[in-house]
Structure 1
């Protein structure tokens, strides 16, 4: 019983730990890099590239072929020796018999084939291309998970703010109900507050739906089971006064660091090798061979298999292409122009990536400025609302001013959340494609620092409410 109990605990414990684990951004990315299904695809492509390299190398390795044949010459072919050689009349003879067997083993070895030697150089670049495709996929996975993770946080904090607003409207609705019952307020005032309350309820339903969709998208990009709960880490709720400043001046850009540019460079190299391979097809090829066989014949089947005569040979085969110039020249020109276009596209990409980098820097600076401005605007809107709320309670102002002030707070909150999400996107967009990156570097740049700020804002709003 003790052994069974221990085994049960061993089986259950990992699931409990898994269920209780709090997932932060680094955990989500690390899990996604291991479990996203696209990683399997690109790993298989790398294995396929290795197999293709072995296939190309096999063309320069010895090849052994064994063949066997059996012929039933229903009507034996005859040869005619002209008259005057062995007699006055033409002589008909058969150089074979009805049944023939032949078995032969032949060993071939390519001694010189420049086109094959040139093609072998492509193996290195094919492996590099497969590795870069894996790296590119990892960058895509990191970006998608970072996007989903931040989106989940934004929707969650939006939901927190909406519930805070709902509580404020609910309290005001109860106050208005009492005022209507006492005859000190009109029914239309209660209806106006109730409309805002119902709108907040509808907005919460939409936010809950968006949060569910964002979580499911995060699970999908991680390769996480959709039906399993993913407890995203609730970051420590610290009151951070200002968002972090991103120092874009310290970043250095070089198009050669982009994975897309490196893939284009390798494609250019492969096209250049293909061009040289086609050109080398005009050179002679030399092959050595050795073969051993046995043949038999007879007027019946038995002797054709029982009485076999051995033979063997070694030799060289020289092949000189002479009359395929037009086809080869056409292929060479196609490869040449493709290679030239690849070089030109590299130059175009270099300029395009430089423009994209500058645009990303500009967007990030603007997003950061908007984020700081919208945060200050929330504080100003909250200050106005507190003053208006106090004036309304003292009867100095009316309900219209109170509702307008609360609407201004909601608008400021929405603007801030939108600015915050845009800032996240611009930051992670700048990371994987623009700068030299590996997974650890991505994790260090895509941090959860700004998330602290979102939650701090939500807590502050709840306290003020």
Structure 2
């Protein structure tokens, strides 16, 4: 049993064991999520079926190397014959043996078909390879989609923490403002303003909760998990260090590994094989053949000889389709245009991939710069919070100042975590 399958079984068992309890959170890493997707994604299963179909296509194409063997057996009733002279006169009935039998076995082995079989097998193998690339492309699309959901879920969980802290601090401010209102040093309007702010925070938090619920449902559905499973992102993922290579490195990686580049290259190869198949139509076919026949009665004699006759033969046959001289050129030209189209599309794919890599690389470096900037912002917000907190403890600052400083710090920390997630 593979490690991936074992991981999936353990994970699913632990999740289904929760079925009799209320909703529970489960920390799921990206690697575990990808393993579940490989096992349960309907899209990937469909691509797996396409690969199996293509593999079978290779086996079918290789049948062209095998001999064709036909076996026939028949029994028949023969009626009496009728014999006439050349002027259709003097007719007379000719008695016939009424039971006829025929047994034959024939075999043909293709020797040369102008490359039709060889190129057919080669094309089938290319289609098998294309199916494999399509499957990997589907896996990548699913993983990118899942990663997007996963990172958005991470951001939303961080937003919930910020709102929870903001709600907690706002309630403290409300209680403090109410006390000051009773003491006559604050207006009722101040209390109302902070109560309205609290309601806005609670509404915003509810919207984030709904977004978490939607994303969580999308994830558990795509991963084939129970509907009541609550996924919580793994916070250790931010500790992973991504490579800081130059743009040339990423361009080379894309040229070697990008699925669209591989697909376009295979499309060109398939087109070239299609050209060879079209040219094979203009070439002769050479085959060995052998047969054995056992027939009775012998009807080539009159009167008919009521005996069985066995005979066999072996030889070489050559056939040439004359019509290919004026039909095949059109098929060849069509195949050539198809290959030319595939080459131009390949050039387009390579160009678009290069442009995308260049753009993404700039954004990638920008994300690192953003992290560095936000780290400084968090440092400054934290220093400001420490100052305000010290003043508040010494009755120099108001609780509203604490609320503002805390909100600024939480907002800076949230932006920093989200920036790290974006990297």
Q: 2: distance between equivalents of 1:403 and 1:14?
A: 44
Q: CA deviation at 1:355?
A: 1.1
Q: 2: distance between equivalents of 1:13 and 1:342?
A: 45
Q: 2: distance between equivalents of 1:220 and 1:13?
A: 15
Q: Residue in 1 aligned with 2:154?
A: 153
Seen in structure 2, the aligned counterparts of structure 1 residues 176 and 285 have a Cα distance that, compared at 3 Å, is same
Kindly report the root-mean-square deviation, in angstroms, between the aligned alpha carbons of the 2 structures: 4.1
- 2:56 is the counterpart of 1:57: no
1:276-312 CA distances to partner (integer Å, 9 max, x unpaired)? Answer: 11111111101222223344469xxxxxxx9754443
Q: How does 1:443-458 map to 2 (within 5 A)?
A: none
Q: Residue in 2 aligned with 1:185?
A: 186
Give the TM-score taking structure 2 as reference length.
Answer: 0.78
Q: 1: distance between equivalents of 2:122 and 2:95?
A: 51
Q: Residue in 2 aligned with 1:451?
A: none
Q: Residue in 1 aligned with 2:288?
A: 288
Q: 2: distance between equivalents of 1:230 and 1:412?
A: 25
Tell me the SS of whatever aligns to 2:66.
Answer: coil
Q: Residue in 2 aligned with 1:320?
A: 320
1:331-387 CA distances to partner (integer Å, 9 max, x unpaired)? Answer: 111110111121222222222211111101101112222233334334545655676
Q: How does 1:422-437 map to 2 (within 5 A)?
A: 423-424=422-423
Tell me the SS of whatever aligns to 2:102.
Answer: strand
Q: CA deviation at 1:174?
A: 1.3
Q: Residue in 1 aligned with 2:246?
A: 249
Seen in structure 2, the aligned counterparts of structure 1 residues 288 and 95 have a Cα distance that, compared at 3 Å, is farther
Alpha carbons 1:392, 1:402 under 8 Å: kept: no
Seen in structure 2, the aligned counterparts of structure 1 residues 79 and 113 have a Cα distance that, compared at 3 Å, is farther
Tell me the SS of whatever aligns to 2:65.
Answer: coil
Alpha carbons 2:378, 2:409 under 8 Å: kept: yes
Q: CA deviation at 1:260?
A: 1.8
Q: Residue in 2 aligned with 1:265?
A: 265
1:390-447 CA distances to partner (integer Å, 9 max, x unpaired)? Answer: 5899587896x887767656765665465444x24xxxxxxxxxxxxxxxxxxxxxxx
Tell me the SS of whatever aligns to 2:225.
Answer: coil
Tell me the SS of whatever aligns to 2:186.
Answer: coil
Alpha carbons 1:81, 1:92 under 8 Å: kept: no
Alpha carbons 1:62, 1:109 under 8 Å: kept: yes
Residue ranges of structure 2 left out of the alignment (5+ in a row)? 1-8, 19-25, 299-305
Q: Residue in 2 aligned with 1:445?
A: none
Q: Residue in 2 aligned with 1:434?
A: none
- 2:86 is the counterpart of 1:82: yes
Tell me the SS of whatever aligns to 1:121.
Answer: helix
Tell me the SS of whatever aligns to 2:72.
Answer: strand
Q: 2: distance between equivalents of 1:407 and 1:14?
A: 40
Tell me the SS of whatever aligns to 1:59.
Answer: helix
Q: Which deviates more, 134-143 or 103-112?
A: 134-143
Q: Residue in 2 aligned with 1:198?
A: 199
Seen in structure 2, the aligned counterparts of structure 1 residues 204 and 73 have a Cα distance that, compared at 3 Å, is farther
Q: CA deviation at 1:194?
A: 0.7
Q: Residue in 2 aligned with 1:23?
A: 28
Residue ranges of structure 1 left out of the alignment (5+ in a row)? 1-10, 299-305, 425-465
Q: Residue in 2 aligned with 1:340?
A: 340
Q: 2: distance between equivalents of 1:220 and 1:80?
A: 84
Alpha carbons 1:219, 1:226 under 8 Å: kept: yes
Q: 2: distance between equivalents of 1:364 and 1:80?
A: 98
Tell me the SS of whatever aligns to 2:104.
Answer: strand
Q: 1: distance between equivalents of 2:39 and 2:242?
A: 32
Alpha carbons 1:49, 1:130 under 8 Å: kept: yes
- 2:161 is the counterpart of 1:140: no
Tell me the SS of whatever aligns to 2:28.
Answer: coil
- 2:54 is the counterpart of 1:44: no
Q: Residue in 2 aligned with 1:444?
A: none
Alpha carbons 2:40, 2:222 under 8 Å: kept: no
Q: Residue in 2 aligned with 1:439?
A: none
Q: 2: distance between equivalents of 1:93 and 1:265?
A: 74
Tell me the SS of whatever aligns to 2:321.
Answer: coil
Q: CA deviation at 1:139?
A: 2.7
Q: Residue in 2 aligned with 1:449?
A: none
Q: Residue in 2 aligned with 1:130?
A: 131
Q: Residue in 1 aligned with 2:208?
A: 207
Seen in structure 2, the aligned counterparts of structure 1 residues 77 and 231 have a Cα distance that, compared at 3 Å, is farther
Give the TM-score taking structure 1 as reference length.
Answer: 0.71
Q: 1: distance between equivalents of 2:11 and 2:139?
A: 31
